[in-house]
Structure 1
Amino acid sequence: MQLQYTPYTAPVFLSAVVGLGVGAFALKHRERPGAFPLAVFLIGASFWSFAEGMNLATVPLESKFFWTRIETVFSCVIALAWLTLVLEYTGNDEWVTPRTIALLLIEPVVVVGATVLRPALLWTEVSTVETAGFVAFESVTGLLYDVHVIYSYLLVLLGGALLLRVILFAEGVYRTQATALLIAMFIPLVGNALYVFGYLPPGIDPTTVGFLISGIIVAGTILRGQLLELVPVARHLARDEILENMEDRVIVLDDNQRIADINPAAAELLDRSEAAAIGERLETVLPDLAALLDDEAGTHVQTELSLEGEEGARYYNVRVSPLRRARGAVAGTLISLRDVTDKRQQRQRLEVLNRLLRHNLRNEMNVVAGNAELVERQLADPDLRERLDRITETATRITDQSDKVGQVSRTFDEDGTVMVDLGEAVRTEVRDARDRYPAAEITVDVSTDLDIEVDPAIAIALDELIANAVQHNDTDHPTVTVRVREADDFAALEVADNGPGIDPHELAVLEEGEETALEHGSGVGLWVVYWTVEQFGGRLEFENDDSGCTVTALLPDADEEDDPGTEQSDGIDGFRQALNPSDIGFSADD
């Protein structure tokens, strides 16, 4: 066989080697979405490149025509494998069915059959021509060849459109992967188009060299871009799973307030199927909600709304978020409705019981204490007077606890937090405590001034800790030390005493987070501290030892920058994170 050397032979054969290597790696991980069609694409491109290399290396027309037909056979695989890869990668693999594949294979099967049995349907004339110092293959193509080119380009462009959608609406690693895949396909596509439409001399076909670049891009994306490890299909499936199973009613509207998507819970609220609900105007199915959107168009809204149903009025916590396109234009609305009827009724009952209990308890205990004092004045028996003193003390303590709970409740009902100089707050409370407990030695050790953003109830919690340390101290000389120090991202407020420590069963109640019939605390003091510290993201630590007890309240330090990545998501926020905006053509505006 007569052979020749061309400057293009080496890179073409190199393309075959690179494609075969990367394709073999993808085939090894064929269980991952898109891996098998990627392997078919790369291995098919590798054999195409090898055939093109042999076409360049041989001189006789018969040999060149043989390798040209081999190239055409493998070109039938490339476009279909590429489209299948993109469908699986983007989560549209519901289209990859045996029926669809069979239909798409009709054209490639016809072309392969014609290539083997009736080449004249593809090439009406074949010849060789000398160009750039070597002998090249030249032909006049027939109608079937032109149809094959158009069909292949359409499959490639369809896959490119799906990837472009990911690029426009996804972010981070998904956008990087999709961009790499799009470039990897369109480099050889452009080269092939220049060759097919006669913009290059005969024999100069950059398609296979484009495959070399594609192989390098895909290999780099696998190694650095987590291709085959992290693909949008996982996010797509998670979005569907979250949307379908959320108890919250989730409705997606287009820019004309028509329902574009809806989950089963919302369809149940509207008393119709999901298919029937899509396309309905919101003002038709939920006029009260539509009126709310009209008043707050284009803004984030969180409010409570009452809707009438078969079971009467139900109350919903409504959260509305505009969906924006890439350039900021509002393209729709995402709505979440959380049924809070039961919680609302429970809260109302608790508020009423709380007010009645505290009001009645205080009044009744005042009656008990007052009558005990009157009876004590009429008694001469020391034992009976001592018992009355205990009655009075108990009534006073219960009244104080009622006042304490009321004060904490009122404080928690206030909106917002305040910036507090913790060191100055501690000094103020210690001064007041010294006046109330002159027999105790109360010292303060503030190593630094720390600004923290907390509820005003911090003063109540600190007062309760100092009072607990003094009142429950059984030594002859109670000592209490209050310290403030920095601890990582927290300000540590420590109250240490030389008393007997806190009973372990009291701490067990706090750790469980609730009181039970078998185990409960003796008072509300520790609960007040626990609620207060927990209210603004802090935590309590207790240490009992032979020298006494140390209670440490770790409070978030306002000097530390907030990390936006640590925010908790709930309800609609969780849905929005899992929602793939490319599914509906929107992007959530955070």
Structure 2
Amino acid sequence: MLPPSTVVWLLVAGGVGSLVVLGWVLYTRRLDLLSPEPAAFVVLSLGAAAWTWGYALQFAAGSLTAKTAFDGPLWLGIAAVGAAWPVFGLTVAGDDDLLTPRRTAVLVGVPVTAALIAWTNPVHGLMYAQVGLADPAVWRPLVVTPGPAFGAFVLYSYAVNGFVAWRLWCGTRDARGDARMRRGLVLAAGALPLVVGTVGLLSATPSATDPAVDYTPAMFAVTTMLTGVAVGRYGLLDPAAVARDLVVAGLSDPVVVVDGSGYVRAANRAGERLLGGRADTGVHVDEAFADHPALVTALREGDATRVQTSVRTLSPDGGSIETAEAAAGGPPDASGSTGTSGRTDSTGSTGGRADGDATRGRREERAYDVSVTPLADTDGGAVLVFRDVTDRLRAERRLTVLNRILRHDLRNDVNVIEGYLDLLRTAVSEAGLADAERYLDVAERRTADLVTLSDRARTVDDIATGDVSFTRVDVGAAAADRCEQVRREHGEGGVEVSYDPPDGPAFVEAMAVFPSVIDNLIENAVEHSDRERPRVEVSVSVTDDAVEFVVADDGPGIPAADRAVFERGDEAALEDASGLGLWLVNWVVTASGGRIAVADREPRGSVVTVTHPRAPPDPLLTGE
């Protein structure tokens, strides 16, 4: 047991500290006293002062009459703390929704009722069965025999305080940055008196000469300091700070806050997922952004700027920053170089570390435009907001495909047409009509190629700019129509096309341009065959949840350069327009939610299989 004088001084200090912190908060903060958290804080502070001073005066009094007289303010403080603490703790924990009017009435009503019972105890003896003096009486608490109401109130208090401590623990665990520190300090401020008081009561052996001492209010001197730190350092009772935390936490964009000393102060969940453990509070920017010197430089310079960088993530379980920065410059052009707008660019692929298990998700590189904004009223602090610009950059890069291919292949085809037209003019002038007819055939084929290329380019442009829609596509009907069209175009002896239809409806929910997949695959099999009479086998089959479209040919097989379009899935695999159709097939299938596979066929040829989730039956449509 602590010396009585020490206990009294702790009690006095706790009361003084509670009132000092309350006065400081009221002087420096504009509190809405009608809101639960500020109102509960004020009542809690006043109640702590009444409890500690009432207990201290009871300690110091020497007569039974004086000691029982000070039981009044003591129980006033107990009622105020007992009513205000659950409300305050739950609001700080973010569980305001638990404080319904009925529950709040119970939380306030039970401590107040207990105080009323204590004040009227001489009439009924429900709170204390017996009350007496210690020997000696001075510097000792009352010697009491608890009554049934006392036991019931103690059990209620432990249950409520335990629940509030648990909710504060959960809130602290789930919060980040200053919000975590606020909740953690309030949790410590609430748990310390509860734990110390419990240990003191369980370890005591009360007697007339050594009555049990309740150390709970004696700990208010420490809890006052913890609360003061939470208010002054971490924004407790500051609506603006709480609002900032809520806004940042709710942002889908990753946000990281760095203080003036270069340490990470806070990060929302998106930021933690993006950066992994390097977004933890207390990590220095040299470590957090070790692979991104441009970010570190921007933070040290302290000016508002923007940095563009790549992050390789393992979806859906987060990832880590990879080294993927280039020199300062402008947005990337078609070749990946930079301009002069003051950005740092990185759009290339990164080797990166093999974070995580490859079986847990698909590793994907995402490009971010990072805004670095200095914090007002701080020396070097800044907020980093990572804006995902991957889709925009992909669209820009895909549009460069059109520029490169159209610039190269259209010019070549036009030159060929012009050359054959010159020959045609010469042949006609010399009456070489047979040669003229052959030249015209070549020019017509080249012209048809230009039309096809233009159509594909328009499709790519529509998809890249988002000008697409999803619809129900009957794969079986589209395949049958295309096979019949090929037979008509090439005649009876030109191409042998067989078609194996599905047993039932073969509808998919896909891009409206999905039929172009069927066109391109069949056309590719016919055009690139080295047989005098190409053979193409087309089939469509359905399962309970998928539609499968297969094109098999007996040609030389798909070249490695064109097959890379399927394997890599990006425009870097394209050498010229010959692979544009396959690249478009892969893009449309993948964007529509399907997958594509390429295999060799024995003894020769290739097999391309497109698998797509089957659309659910539509009762408004017939034939399903």
TM range (shorter): 0.3 to 0.5
Instruction: With the length of structure 1 as denominator, give the TM-score of the two structures.
Output: 0.45
What TM-score, normalized by structure 2, do the two folds share? Answer: 0.43
Larger relative contact order (CA 8 Å, sep ≥ 6): 1
